[in-house]
Chain A
Amino acid sequence: MSDFRTSQNEAHPNKTNTLMTGIILMLILFVTIQIWFLYGALNNALEDNFFFAVITFIGSFLFALASFWLLRYLPEPLKDKPGKKK
């Protein structure tokens, strides 16, 4: 018997792949910006620029939250239905 999920998966067979690629690309973007922030904070902290360190920390923290939130949307691995032949 076919249900909504099955017909969705059949209509868009690459959906999982696209979602996964999109999430990984966004995560890489977030991590890259965080590395940039960290590098800047390390360099500016030497000059006693406390304000810069705080701002980059807040930004980095928000990006970390966004990364964790994105992980919720990781698609589940596709499972073969029992008895279904490949």
Chain B
Amino acid sequence: MEQEDPEKIPNWKSDFPIQSKKASHVNRREFAKFLGLLSGALALSNGGIVIKAIAFPSKPLEGEHFVCHENDVPVGKMFQFSIEGNKVVPYMLIHLENTEWRAFEQKCTHLSCAVRYIDDTKRIECPCHHGYFDADTGEVLQGPPPRPLPQLEVVNKEGKIYVKEMKS
């Protein structure tokens, strides 16, 4: 049997020291162990992203959704709407020209701020960090957004505007 070292301070004594100075002191060994713990936690959270991606894959939008009538949105204006599925996603419909319609997700791909269409410059602006997107394609023109805006296909059926998943 292993003999206890009489000189060794038991763990409970070192965990609850008498002096307050010792209680608040973090030595380098503890700091290194904390970094090890943090490293494990980061690996776990990275695993959480993988599990989430497997368990909840993003589904494409099914079917056509009615948005508004053609006359409701004049040329150069935008119309905000949302589609309810697993979660409510805000979109915006832009009337570019007489027969040109675009529908984009209204969340900036940088930090999910609500974007808006500026007709003067024909661009979509994110007011939070001045990111700009092309109103025609949704591509990033300027600023911090890393990806283009997700786009929906717009269908005009006898004056009624519908949106559906973009065919790639």
Interface residues of A (CB under 8 A from B): 20, 23-24, 27-28, 30-31, 34-35, 37-38, 41-43, 45-48, 50, 53-54, 56-57, 60-61, 63-64, 67-68, 70-71, 74, 77, 79, 82
A-B contact count (CB 8 A): 89
**Does B40 sit within 8 A of A, measured CB to CB?**
yes
Given contacts A23-B32, A64-B42, list 11 more A-B pairs with CB under 8 A. A20-B29, A24-B31, A28-B35, A34-B39, A34-B43, A43-B146, A50-B54, A57-B46, A60-B46, A63-B39, A71-B33
Q: Judging by beta carbons under 8 Å apart, are B28 and A42 in contact? A: no
Interface of A is mostly: helix
Question: Nearest CB to that of A20 among chain B residues?
Answer: B28
What B residues does A67 contact at CB under 8 A? 35-36, 39-40
- With beta carbons under 8 angstroms apart, the residue of B35, B36, B47, B109 that contacts A57 is B47
- A53 CA to B57 CA in the complex, in Å? 13
Query: Shortest Cβ distance from A56 into chain B, in angstroms?
Result: 6
Interface residues of B (CB under 8 A from A): 7, 27-29, 31-33, 35-36, 38-40, 42-43, 45-47, 49-50, 52-54, 57-58, 109, 146-147
Query: Shortest Cβ distance from A80 into chain B, in angstroms?
Result: 9
Q: Judging by beta carbons under 8 Å apart, are A53 and B39 in contact? A: no
Query: Shortest Cβ distance from A61 into chain B, in angstroms?
Result: 5
- A71 CA to B40 CA in the complex, in Å? 12
- With beta carbons under 8 angstroms apart, the residue of A43, A53, A60, A77 that contacts B29 is A77
Q: Judging by beta carbons under 8 Å apart, are B39 and A79 in contact? A: no
Can you name 13 A-B pairs with beta carbons within 8 Å? A31-B35, A38-B49, A46-B109, A53-B50, A56-B49, A57-B47, A63-B43, A64-B42, A67-B39, A68-B36, A74-B32, A77-B27, A77-B29
- A41 CA to B52 CA in the complex, in Å? 12
